[in-house]
Amino acid sequence: MLKNCAECGNVFAEEGDLCLSCLALMQGDFQKIREFSFANPNASLQQIAAGTGASEPRIILYLRQGKLRVVSQGKVVCARCGTEVLRGPYCRSCELDIKEGRPLNKKTLPPRRN
Ligand SMILES: [Zn+2]
Ligand SMILES: [Zn+2]
């Protein structure tokens, strides 16, 4: 079955969320992100992105895949889009998306709150 890569949008046929080229890139990033989150256990998604140079959607992908946990000041983040939620695993809009089978669209992510 053909799918769109969650990172670059290219069509690919392998298992998982990503095409092979993004997968290779991510494995390098993942090491950095994991080391950073070990060294900074309270870092938020934004701080990890700034500290590692990885994009937030990429870090969110790790969250979705259960490879990484990001806890922001004791708050839980949505395992799908990274929005802060009171309890997990998903925020209300992602819960709706999942129920209705809608894919996660980066362009519809809520704007970042500072
Ligand atoms: Zn890709
Ligand atoms: Zn969400």
Q: How many domains, the chain?
A: 1
Determine the structural domain holding residue 99 and report its residue range. 3-108
Does residue 61 lie in a domain region? Answer: yes
User: What pTM was computed for the model?
Assistant: 0.44
Q: Could you give the angle at the alpha carbon of 53 between the alpha carbons of 50 and 57, nearest 5°?
A: 85
Does residue 113 lie in a domain region? Answer: no
For ligand 1, the distance from its centroid to the CA atom of residue 49, given in whole angstroms, is 19
Contacts of 107 (CB under 8 A, 6+ apart): none
pLDDT in tens, 60-101: 777 777 777 665 545 677 888 888 777 767 888 888 998 999
Provide the residues around ligand 2 (an ion) whose CB is within 5 A.
Answer: 78, 80-81, 83, 91, 94
Does residue 114 lie in a domain region? Answer: no
The ligand placed nearest to the CA atom of residue 12 is: 1
Helices 56-64 and 20-39, interaxial angle, to 10°?
Answer: 90
Does residue 33 lie in a domain region? Answer: yes
Does residue 78 lie in a domain region? Answer: yes
